[in-house]
Structure 1
Amino acid sequence: MLKLQSHIHTQIKDISFPNISHYNQCSFEELFDIESIAKEINQRAEVLLVIGVGGSFLGARAVIDALTPYFAPDEFGVEVIYAGQNMSGAYLHQLLKYLDKKEVYVNVVSKSGTTMEPALAFRVVKQYMEKRYGDESKQRIIVTTDAERGVLKQIADNEGYRRFVIPSEVGGRYSVFTAAGLLPIAAAGIDIQAFLNGANHAEKDFENDNIEHNAAYQYALTRYEMYKKGYSVELLASFEPRLNKLHEWWKQLFGESEGKEYKGLYPSTVNYSTDLHAIGQFIQEGSRIMFETLIHFEEVEADMEIPFTFDDMDGLNYLGGRSMNSINAISKDGVALAHEEGGVPVVKIVMPKLDAFHVGYLMFFFMKACVISASLLEVNPFDQPGVEAYKRKMVELLKKDAVLVNE
């Protein structure tokens, strides 16, 4: 299913890793409700506004961007747009002006409801929806949050919003296979059954304790060996622009899971061939601090053939009749060879096809490998104390500033 090519061969014995099988469980009843509400959104709205930050929206956006058309994505499902991932007043102001011309549903995603960016955005959007739709806004706002506690749960209960659950044991960066990811993905017109089937197949494939037959173990061990050899940066690369948000999801997954106790690889990303003309020089001849993980999907659903011309003024007739995707694949091999010869180790992850099944498979692979990789570093894969530290300081400063303004 997934091919992993790596030059690292290490054996690990007598180490047990946390089980993440519960991250990939969604009941039949919950799936039915998700698909029903996604259908309702498609019938009654043109836009689904997802309010969240970090794992509360990155997983869904990664899948949606990877699997919907580059242009006119709303012809595939509703248009999914985002708020609460920044604190830009200009962004929120322009967003609301854009929504004035559309029929809108809102999905606010937060386990606690107190994270500053989405909480502020939801306060503004909630008021907007109430003014625009009145009592109907209660039908158009859907909450995804903790089952038992949190400010957002209280708001949902008080207002009578429909609610989905993020299991308490599942952190945001691991939540794409819960309602946090599945509702927006389904509303965008993507087959969530196929997406979950891919994850289920990956879960079974990566239960094997034999490292030689478990690509998730191999990838985690490769990262660990690179780290021990003195590499400080892992560069995730791909040759398909629609994978940019998958890169962002991967960056949070590994950065937030491993970056503790002054340990861990710094996760960085590039998209080729665009970034070959931006950061390619540094990768080829800069400081030898990084290794590269290259993702490639062998089959992408659409392609273009290069035409022949009579004059061949650009000298490209030798590529006439070839497809863009085939040229892209060869350029991938050329880049990998150049980087390896330049002293940048390259790990290759090859998937058969860019579709819902294989994206689900790949994301579960990364989640499984991340838990193993963090465990090898002897850090907790599931907490994020550094993030909580910045939140505390930000709130302290905001409250202090509010007191000064009101005096």
Structure 2
Amino acid sequence: MSTQLLQTGILNESSLQINWSDYSDSVKTIHHYLEKKGAALTGWLNLPLENNDITLKAIQSVANEIKMCADVLVVVGIGGSFLGAKAIQDALTPYFDLHPNGIEVVYVGHNMSGAYMLQLIESLKNKNVYVNVISKSGTTLEPALAFRVLRKYMENRYGNDVQNRIIVTTDAETGLLKKIADNTGFRQFVIPENIGGRYSVLTPAGLLPLAVAGIDIVRLLDGAKKAALLLKEERLEKNEAYRYAVIRHSLYKRGYQIELLASFEPGLSKLHEWWQQLFGESEGKDKKGLYPSGVIFSTDLHSVGQFIQDGSPILFETILHFKETPTDCIVPYDVRNIDNLNYLSNRSFNEINAISKDGVIAAHAEGGIPVIQLELEKLDAYHLGYLVYFFMKSCAMSAFLLEVNPFDQPGVEAYKSKVLELMHKNIIYREWHA
């Protein structure tokens, strides 16, 4: 496997002018702080290195049961409780055969759209259903509302058998969802107390939906284990995750405000969303941090490409590229050649995509845009496991370089409190005037 972090920029690589020695001591200090569990919620750091055989067997057993007894698994969650699984599922699922293993895995609880909820319920008719609700607390409004609707639906439809068809993934000891599961006898999987939601994709929160979707979760964890081993290196020059964090920090200090994650495969769009949450929620504090945004090329080159090339110089790019994808298409030879494309005949789409990627990097670099390239050998479970761990390790380092806590989200709690306050006020007002 080849995993490269390249400070490319092609024609303007030297313009980055990062003095790595300026960061070496800070990086080592933060590294030791993380490794010694100085910060809370760092259980994800060594999770891939632990013996997870018992948990994996339990997950595979339940996943096999669901695949035998159901047509669809409905996953209830928001943020880290759904984005990681959805990201990997979309990246590794065929575009037009959405449930190649004979079962659908669909997601709800990440919005408050009544139309989405009703249409989901309608879609479940004539299908056998299991539900997996994921939340450490059980009190987040969006998934709590969705679970209330689905729980009532499942109770009405399945009666006493509902106990076998609802699976709860939550905290081991505390929380409203834990209380509900204990009172009802729903089967439970545990999100470790020392792992926060956006770092939980390699826990049962991500692994159970992925196993049901037919993703090889053992290989996923193997890739994460490889990353966990390689990225224990404290030396900046030897640790690619830390180098990525330092490049980001250096560009931020120079006035760049936006990091644009770009890739050339449409199935990676949800991976971009997971990355956006990881970095945005970890770094965006104390009026600090880069704004994380994502684009899929070449599609978005025909929408925001003009701004990227010639607009305000507020962003830099991180290009994510997989050298090999699971399937490919060859351009046929056409004796008529009316479209003048025979020069590309017998070339694969992936090959053309890779050339396009190099051209985009060259054009953007010439336009003065700093470019980072992350390149992995193959788009598969192993390399995605490597990548998600790489991003989590980079994110922790990057946030600490900003002197913010990577593992809390006070801004999210602020919006939750305000929404609940307004909700209660509105309901009391309506009851008073009824």
Classify the TM-score, shorter chain: over 0.9
Matched residues in 1 for 2:390 and 2:294: separation?
A: 18
Partner of 1:55: 80
Amino acid of the structure 2 residue aligned with 1:336? I
Please list, as runs of the form range in 1=range in 2, the aligned pairs for 1:82-231 lying within 5 A after superposition.
Answer: 82-231=107-256
Asked whether the 8 Å contact 1:77–1:189 carries over to 2, the reply is no
Partner of 1:397: 422
Matched, 1:16 2:30: yes
Please list, as runs of the form range in 1=range in 2, the aligned pairs for 1:54-73 lying within 5 A after superposition.
Answer: 54-73=79-98
Corresponding residue SS for 1:381: coil
Amino acid of the structure 2 residue aligned with 1:315? N
Partner of 1:3: 4
CA apart distance, 1:141? 0.4
Matched residues in 1 for 2:160 and 2:288: separation?
A: 51
CA apart distance, 1:55? 0.3
Asked whether the 8 Å contact 1:307–1:321 carries over to 2, the reply is yes
Matched residues in 1 for 2:283 and 2:397: separation?
A: 10
**Per-residue deviation, residues 353-372 of structure 1 (Å, max 9, x unmatched):** 00000000000000000000
Amino acid of the structure 1 residue aligned with 2:421? E
CA apart distance, 1:203? 0.4
Matched residues in 2 for 1:36 and 1:221: separation?
A: 42
Corresponding residue SS for 2:25: coil
Corresponding residue SS for 1:170: coil
Partner of 1:379: 404
Matched residues in 1 for 2:99 and 2:164: separation?
A: 21
Partner of 1:254: 279
Matched residues in 1 for 2:157 and 2:431: separation?
A: 31
Matched residues in 2 for 1:194 and 1:258: separation?
A: 30
* TM-score between the two structures when normalised by the length of structure 2: 0.92
**CA 1:394–1:26 in 2, change beyond 3 Å: closer, same or farther?**
farther
Amino acid of the structure 1 residue aligned with 2:167? I
Partner of 1:46: 71
Amino acid of the structure 2 residue aligned with 1:354? L
Asked whether the 8 Å contact 2:256–2:315 carries over to 1, the reply is yes
Matched, 1:337 2:362: yes
Matched, 1:277 2:302: yes
Corresponding residue SS for 1:321: coil
Matched residues in 1 for 2:211 and 2:333: separation?
A: 41
**Per-residue deviation, residues 236-288 of structure 1 (Å, max 9, x unmatched):** 00000010010000000000000000000000000001100111010000000
Matched residues in 2 for 1:213 and 1:341: separation?
A: 29
Amino acid of the structure 1 residue aligned with 2:77? G
Higher mean displacement: 6-15 or 364-373: 6-15
1:388 corresponds, among 398, 413, 433, to 413
Amino acid of the structure 1 residue aligned with 2:30? S
Corresponding residue SS for 2:99: helix
Corresponding residue SS for 1:184: helix
Q: Alignment length, in residue pairs?
A: 407
Corresponding residue SS for 1:362: helix
Please list, as runs of the form range in 1=range in 2, the aligned pairs for 1:229-244 lying within 5 A after superposition.
Answer: 229-244=254-269
**Per-residue deviation, residues 50-85 of structure 1 (Å, max 9, x unmatched):** 000000000000110011111122123521101000
Matched, 1:370 2:395: yes
Amino acid of the structure 2 residue aligned with 1:31? L
Matched, 1:264 2:289: yes
2:53 corresponds, among 21, 24, 28, to 28
Partner of 1:351: 376
Matched residues in 2 for 1:97 and 1:127: separation?
A: 14
Matched residues in 2 for 1:26 and 1:233: separation?
A: 39
**CA 1:77–1:176 in 2, change beyond 3 Å: closer, same or farther?**
farther
Partner of 2:10: none
Corresponding residue SS for 1:13: helix
Amino acid of the structure 1 residue aligned with 2:183? N
CA apart distance, 1:174? 0.1
Asked whether the 8 Å contact 2:331–2:349 carries over to 1, the reply is yes
Corresponding residue SS for 1:257: helix
Matched residues in 2 for 1:75 and 1:224: separation?
A: 42
The unaligned stretches of length 5 or more in structure 2 are 8-12, 36-41
* TM-score between the two structures when normalised by the length of structure 1: 0.98
Corresponding residue SS for 1:235: strand
CA apart distance, 1:102? 1.3
Amino acid of the structure 2 residue aligned with 1:5? L
**CA 1:202–1:77 in 2, change beyond 3 Å: closer, same or farther?**
farther
Partner of 2:39: none
The unaligned stretches of length 5 or more in structure 1 are none
Tell me the C-alpha RMSD between the 2 structures.
1.0
**Per-residue deviation, residues 154-181 of structure 1 (Å, max 9, x unmatched):** 0001110000011111110000010000
Corresponding residue SS for 2:312: coil
Amino acid of the structure 1 residue aligned with 2:226? H
Corresponding residue SS for 2:73: strand
Matched residues in 1 for 2:325 and 2:415: separation?
A: 41
Asked whether the 8 Å contact 1:255–1:267 carries over to 2, the reply is yes
Partner of 1:312: 337
